[in-house]
Amino acid sequence: MNAPNAEQPACFLCGNTTATLVTDIRRRPQRETDFGIAVEAYARQVYQCATCHVYFNAQHMLQPEIYTRAYNEATYSQKLLETFTRIRQLPLEKSDNKQRVQRVMDFNARQGRQPAQTSVLDVGSGLAVFPAELKDHGFRCHCIDPDPLSAQHAMQHARADGAHAGTLDDYSPTERFEIITFNKVLEHVPNPVAVLKQAQRLLAPGGFIYLELPDGEVALRQGNAIDREEFYIEHFTIFSPAALDYLARAAHLRALETQAIHEPSDKYTLFAFLEPL
């Protein structure tokens, strides 16, 4: 059914206020991260936008500022290094990150570049497993994360060539990057189009953007919007192929390659390689 006229939420991707209600959630799913929301205060609705076809969470319990520190504390229980080390030890067939690195390496090679010739900016680096894996293959890697603990961790343990504690808004590097990556990041911000547009100012000529997004369309077919992590509260948006296409076009980007995958961690994911129009 369509969203009630009195409470039509605005889509985070396109701003439209015509949406279909997917589900109304009044209790924290068992495996969702506990952000300390009182049981009686928990209330959110998952909608699908009629214009851009993105799924989105309508809720007033979490704000973007959570990613400055509280997200890491809730998600990793202040055990960044321990979690980082455990994930790094996973073999290729069980590692989202190693398979992600392989995709990026293969695509970069098809663009005619070797790792030593390639500088990467990983936006929203979190545990920094991905840049650490890239460093093993000879890439130069810089990181951005809003949590100072994550930025420090990236320098100390992932051997990043640079790490900025903040956002693209306050980041002014002295170089441009052949690859800019957003791995499970854009769903955590309320303005994904603006973030992608801003990132392009840091892209070197001939460079590309790699992004991964939760695939809501397949997740719904394989489960439901309550129990699948793709739809958890920390995600403002959850994508479909049509929504990914809208995102790229709205940010003045062209998709060079897109694919839907089921990752070893059981995540349903859409990935894309994009270049400026």
Positions of the chain with pLDDT under 70:
1-7, 64-78
Task: Provide the pLDDT for residue 264.
Answer: 98
Q: Are 238 and 216 in contact, with CB atoms under 8 Å apart?
A: yes
pLDDT single digits (tens) 54-63: 999 999 888 7
Question: Domain for residue 23, yes or no?
Answer: no
Task: Provide the pLDDT for residue 8.
Answer: 80
Q: Is 30 exposed, middle or buried (0-12, 13-18, 19+ CB in 10 A)?
A: exposed
Query: How many DSSP H helices and E strands does the chain contain?
Result: 8, 11
Cα–Cα separations (whole angstroms), residue 117 to 207, 236, 274: 12, 35, 19
Question: Domain for residue 16, yes or no?
Answer: no
Task: Provide the pLDDT for residue 64.
Answer: 62
> Per the structure, how many domains does the chain have?
1
Task: Provide the pLDDT for residue 122.
Answer: 98
Question: Domain for residue 81, yes or no?
Answer: yes
Question: Domain for residue 113, yes or no?
Answer: yes
Question: Domain for residue 78, yes or no?
Answer: yes
Question: Domain for residue 116, yes or no?
Answer: yes
Q: What is the CATH number of the domain that holds 270?
A: 3.40.50.150
Domain interval for residue 89? 65-213+254-276
Question: Domain for residue 34, yes or no?
Answer: no
